[in-house]
Amino acid sequence: MHDITVSKIIDQLGMSAGLSTLRFNFRSGLGRGHGSAADVRGACAFVMQTAAAAEQIVLIGYSYGASVVASIAADIPEVAAFALIAPPLGANPCLFMCRSPITSRLLTSTKPKLLIVGDSDQFCSPQYYEALAEQLTQPKKCQLITGSHDRSTGRFAMVHHFNIFQYVNAALQPWLETTFACPYEDLGGSDGVPVLSSFENCIGMLEVGPSMGSVRMGSDLGESATDGDSDDV
C-alpha cells in the first residue's frame, strides 16, 4: 500500500485532480487470484458507498495489482476506465496471452484503458508489451516509456519496474483528460462518463532523459506497437 508508485499516483489524483482515492493491500498475492479479485470488488463497493457523490471509478493497478485489475475491470459496472501500470507479463505470460474467459474479457473490453511499461522492466519485456498492446480492443492508449542516452554527460536513463513512478503521471494525466474530455484539475467535478469518440488509438512511446522526471513525447507508432510492494492497486 505504501509503494512509492502507488503513493505518487494517489497523491497526484487527490491533490491535483480533486478525486476521491483509495489504496489498499491485497490479503494475499498467492493462489489463483480469486481472493484478490474479491478484494477489488469490495474496495469498489466501499468507494461507491462512502465517497461523496461517487458515480464512476477509474481502477488503476501497479505490478501484481495490474494483473488483478486486468482480470476483473471489465466485469465491474462502476468501473468507467482502467489503467495497467507495469503488469508483470513475463512472470506469467499465459495469464495475458492465452485465451481464457478472463483474458477474453480483458482483450475485448470496450472500456477506455491505459497500458504503461518501462522498456527495461524486469518483469515485462517490450515484446510482451507489444503483444498485449496489439490485442487490446479500442479505446486504448499504450505507451512504452523508453530511456535515452545523454552523450554530453554519458548518463543513461533506464526505465524499469521500480523507478517507473518518476514518469507514470506524465502518461496518466493526458489519458484521463482525453478519456473524460475534462481538464485534469476539474476531473473531481466531472460526471465520470468517458467520451469515447474523442479517444484515439495510440500505441507509442514516451522517451525520458537522464535527468530525473524529464519526459519527451515520442512519435506515434501507429499500427506497429505496446516491487516495491507487489500487493498494491
Number of domains in the chain: 1
Q: What is the per-residue pLDDT for 54? A: 74
Quick one: which H or E segment has residue 46?
A: helix 34-50
In a domain, 225, yes or no: no
Cα(214)–Cα(162) distance, integer angstroms: 17
Calpha distance 24→99 (Å, rounded): 29
Residue 202: inside a domain, yes or no? yes
pLDDT confidence of residue 29: 55
Domain membership flag for residue 12: yes
Q: What is the C-alpha separation between 167 and 187, in angstroms, rounded?
A: 20
Q: Which residues form the domain of 174?
A: 4-220
CATH number of the domain encompassing residue 79:
3.40.50.1820
* Domain membership flag for residue 227: no
With the CA atoms of 132, 63, 126 and 95 taken in that order, what torsion angle do they form, in degrees rounded to the nearest 10? -40
Longest dimension (CA), the chain: 54
Greater model confidence, 181 or 152: 181
Determine, yes or no, domain membership for 45.
Answer: yes
* H helix or E strand, kind and range, residue 10: helix 4-15
Q: 169-185: per-residue pLDDT in tens?
A: 999 999 999 999 999 99
Task: Write out pLDDT tens, residues 196-220.
Answer: 654 555 666 666 655 443 333 333 3
Please check whether residue 20 lies inside any domain of the structure. Answer: yes
pLDDT of residue 148: 76
| Residue 111 resides in a domain | yes
Q: Which helix (H) or strand (E) holds 79?
A: strand 79-85
In a domain, 229, yes or no: no
